[in-house]
Amino acid sequence: MCGIVGYVGPRPPLQVLIDGLHRLEYRGYDSAGVALVDGSRLSVVKRAGRIADLEEAVAAAEPPEGRVGVGHTRWATHGAPTTLNAHPHTDCTGTVAVVHNGIVENWAELKSELIRRGHRFISDTDTEVIAHLVEEGSDLSLVEAVAEAMKAAEGALALAVVRTDQPGLIVGARRGSPLVVGLGESETFLASDIPAFLSHTRRVVVIEDDRVIEIRDGGVRIFDLDGVEQPLVEKVIEWDLAAAERGGYPTFMLKEIHEQPQAIADTLRGRTADGGVIALRELELPEQILRMVDKVFVVACGTSYHAAMMAKYAIERWTRLPTEIDIASEFRYRDPVLDGRSLVIGISQSGETIDTLAAVRYAKAQRSTVIGVSNVVDSALARESDAVLYTRAGPEIGVAATKTFTTQLVAMQLLGLYLAQVRGTMDPGTIGLLVAELQALPDKVGKVLQTEPQMEDMARRFAQVRDFFFLGRSGDFPVAMEGALKLKEIAYVRAEGYAAGEMKHGPIALVEPGVVVVGVATDSHVRQKTLSNMEEMKARGGTIVMVVEEGTEDEVSGLADEVVVIPQSPDLLCTVTAVVPLQLLAYHIATQRGLDVDKPRNLAKTVTVE
Ligand code: F6R
């Protein structure tokens, strides 16, 4: 996720762009840049770091003003967050500048082909291929050249492009990543999101997929990729600026819960090929090393540890490799038995959690191979690991992890299937079926989000409940743990996540009328056992909430006080769908209790102390 802005009009564009980028900083903040067109001159200024760093660079460079400019704030997906990799990117002639939000899936093929045709690349980004593709269309109008580039590029693209031979023009394009136009009096804005220009105009045009747009100070024209002009549908925004930054949601956490279908699609993008093959190109680890591994350790903290719990089941089931999981702060102090054939996977959203970093450093000292799974490109975890798999959830502002958790689950499922593929422990047909099911997850999560009114209603009734249990077995166990953690951290309610079969060994003594017991029973091979355990909770007077898959709701009709139905998915993949109603339940209980869900007490988003 990145933020792009563009401006054509009578004001000095630089300040409009910088203000817009500040408003989009929630979309990414590892580097930023602007390109300004003044007559036939193109000036590009960019910097690693926050937008304040860009402002300093701009002040020092004193670029010419002109009437047209584009800007970008980056959340890296390809290439480290350096000044060189910051956008805008330019072509060989220095006459084209491009800002991009999204992922060009076939960038490697395009780049090789463009290099073969004599183009020179200077960054590690996927975006730079777009600048060179547009350069190839120098004999076309800019709108035609961008349409051709869109046809060549696969994946998600929101673009803003300028070219010095058409100095009064920005060309935008969109497929898969958001793009909106703001219509002012004799000025026009382009952005990834409305807050970028809401202080200037409330009149917007939302751009659809596979559209190319011409933006001038007098307005906008929209075309499809074949150059056929499309109608322009204008609407007026009623939100205030603060609400607009949260996409109209009351909090960042709720926005991020609703971003999960997109975040999961981004995490999958370009990592599976036709025929169900997993292609984790960026892992850059010789397959020979993965074939040699004889034991796996997965280490993480908090929510990321719950993703590790799911990973253990997935890796053991799909690869038959013995897999241990550890809370990172415990790992090195228990003196684990590691050697050169051990694979250690560290999972950390921030990639800066000191306990997880200490665990992977310990593993490297034992000569083990380390894979980092992180949401932040070039984080300490990414740099210190032998290989890295990014989750691509985009920045998460709410302190409680939501979209970063479901994307960690998906990343670990991809990694588990990849290991099975490389080691030949699963037949390609079965991997292909699971890949197809992974691809279906964004839509299914979208469907689960429709349970929100039910979860909100439940939250109203449970807002004053003091004790919750969340129970599950197998893949449902990490989901139960995560449901309990969400409720604890944002609603300040005592909530225990437990293995359903373990309750009878002690904690069942706490179950009595007034206690709510949430059972997750989606994993087919243990469902009946979980249901028996839930009967035991009901017999002790607990209020029973069941999360089950479509087609199994009849099995719990006599047991549950509340039934939440989610779409069917294969075992382990259903962790991704099953956790969503529990996020919503915790969220709405917290808001019923009048709490600040984005900034819960005593917590920090990144924990850099032991
Ligand atoms: C819970 C939460 C924390 C983090 C934990 C690890 O919502 O956000 O439990 O999961 O602090 O953080 P990372 O994944 O950045 O290592």
What are the C-alpha distances in Å from 539 to residues 179, 204, 513, 517, 528? 54, 57, 10, 12, 17
CA distance 552 to 548: 6
Q: Which is the closest atom of ligand 1 to the Cα of 605?
A: 8
For residue 414, with 0-12 CB atoms within 10 Å meaning exposed, 13-18 middle and 19 or more buried, which class applies? Answer: buried
Ligand 1 pocket test, pick from 253, 298, 303 with the greatest ligand atom count within 8 Å of Cβ, gives: 303
Instruction: Give the mean model confidence (pLDDT) for residues 485-500.
Output: 97
Model pTM score: 0.81
Confidence of residue 267 (pLDDT cuts 50, 70, 90): very high
What are the phi and psi torsion angles at 192 (to 5°)?
-70, -25
Contact 489 CB / ligand 1 (< 6 Å): yes
Confidence of residue 19 (pLDDT cuts 50, 70, 90): very high
**pLDDT confidence of residue 431:** 94
**pLDDT confidence of residue 599:** 85
Instruction: Give the mean model confidence (pLDDT) for residues 222-226.
Output: 96
**pLDDT confidence of residue 151:** 97
Instruction: Give the mean model confidence (pLDDT) for residues 480-509.
Output: 96
Q: Which is the closest atom of ligand 1 to the Cα of 374?
A: 14
**pLDDT confidence of residue 235:** 85
Contact 388 CB / ligand 1 (< 6 Å): no
Closest to 115 (Cα-Cα) out of 104, 128, 96: 128
Domain 255-447, CATH homologous superfamily name and number:
Glucose-6-phosphate isomerase like protein; domain 1 (3.40.50.10490)
Instruction: Give the mean model confidence (pLDDT) for residues 487-513.
Output: 96
CA distance 465 to 482: 19
Ligand 1 pocket test, pick from 299, 304, 399 with the greatest ligand atom count within 8 Å of Cβ, gives: 304
- For the chain, give every domain's residue range: 3-245, 255-447, 448-592
Q: Which is the closest atom of ligand 1 to the Cα of 303?
A: 10
Confidence of residue 46 (pLDDT cuts 50, 70, 90): very high
Instruction: Give the mean model confidence (pLDDT) for residues 514-523.
Output: 96
Contact 353 CB / ligand 1 (< 6 Å): yes
Q: Kindly state the helix (H) or strand (E) to which residue 113 belongs, with its residue range.
A: helix 107-116
Write the pLDDT tens digit of every residue in 384-398. 999 999 999 988 889
Domain 448-592, CATH homologous superfamily name and number:
Glucose-6-phosphate isomerase like protein; domain 1 (3.40.50.10490)
Confidence of residue 66 (pLDDT cuts 50, 70, 90): confident
CA distance 334 to 323: 16
Write the pLDDT tens digit of every residue in 157-170. 999 999 999 989 99
Ligand 1 centre to CA of 313 (Å) is: 21
Write the pLDDT tens digit of every residue in 345-360. 999 999 989 899 999 9
Say which residues have a Cβ less than 8 Å from residue 363's Cβ, sequence separation at least 6. Answer: 297, 299, 338, 342, 344, 346, 370
Q: Do domains 3-245 and 255-447 have the same CATH topology?
A: no
Say which residues have a Cβ less than 8 Å from residue 100's Cβ, sequence separation at least 6. Answer: 2, 4, 72, 87, 89, 126, 127, 130, 157, 158, 159
Question: 524 pLDDT exceeds 90?
Answer: no
Ligand 1 centre to CA of 306 (Å) is: 10
Catalytic residue among 2, 46, 255, 403: 2
Atom 10, ligand 1: which residue's CA is nearest? Answer: 303
What are the C-alpha distances in Å from 56 to residues 81, 179, 199? 18, 28, 24
- The domain 3-245 is placed in CATH, from the list 2.40.50.100, 3.30.1060.10, 3.40.190.10, 3.60.20.10, at 3.60.20.10
Instruction: Give the mean model confidence (pLDDT) for residues 548-557.
Output: 95
Write the pLDDT tens digit of every residue in 103-116. 898 999 999 999 99
Write the pLDDT tens digit of every residue in 398-424. 989 999 999 999 999 999 999 999 999
Instruction: Specify whether 301 is catalytic.
Output: no
Instruction: Give the mean model confidence (pLDDT) for residues 18-43.
Output: 90
Instruction: Specify whether 605 is catalytic.
Output: yes
Ligand 1 pocket test, pick from 310, 349, 375, 384 with the greatest ligand atom count within 8 Å of Cβ, gives: 349
Question: 248 pLDDT exceeds 90?
Answer: no
The average confidence (pLDDT) of the chain is 93
Question: 244 pLDDT exceeds 90?
Answer: no
**Packing angle between helix 302-319 and helix 403-423, nearest 10 degrees?**
20
Joined together, the tokens standing for residue 159 give 């673009």
Contact 374 CB / ligand 1 (< 6 Å): no
Question: 239 pLDDT exceeds 80?
Answer: no
Let me know: does 375 contact 390? Beta carbons within 8 Å. yes
Q: Which is the closest atom of ligand 1 to the Cα of 607?
A: 11
**pLDDT confidence of residue 570:** 96
Contact 500 CB / ligand 1 (< 6 Å): no
**pLDDT confidence of residue 270:** 87
CA distance 70 to 79: 21
**pLDDT confidence of residue 378:** 77
**pLDDT confidence of residue 492:** 96
**pLDDT confidence of residue 135:** 97
Contact 85 CB / ligand 1 (< 6 Å): no
Question: 246 pLDDT exceeds 90?
Answer: no
Confidence of residue 241 (pLDDT cuts 50, 70, 90): confident
CA distance 215 to 552: 53
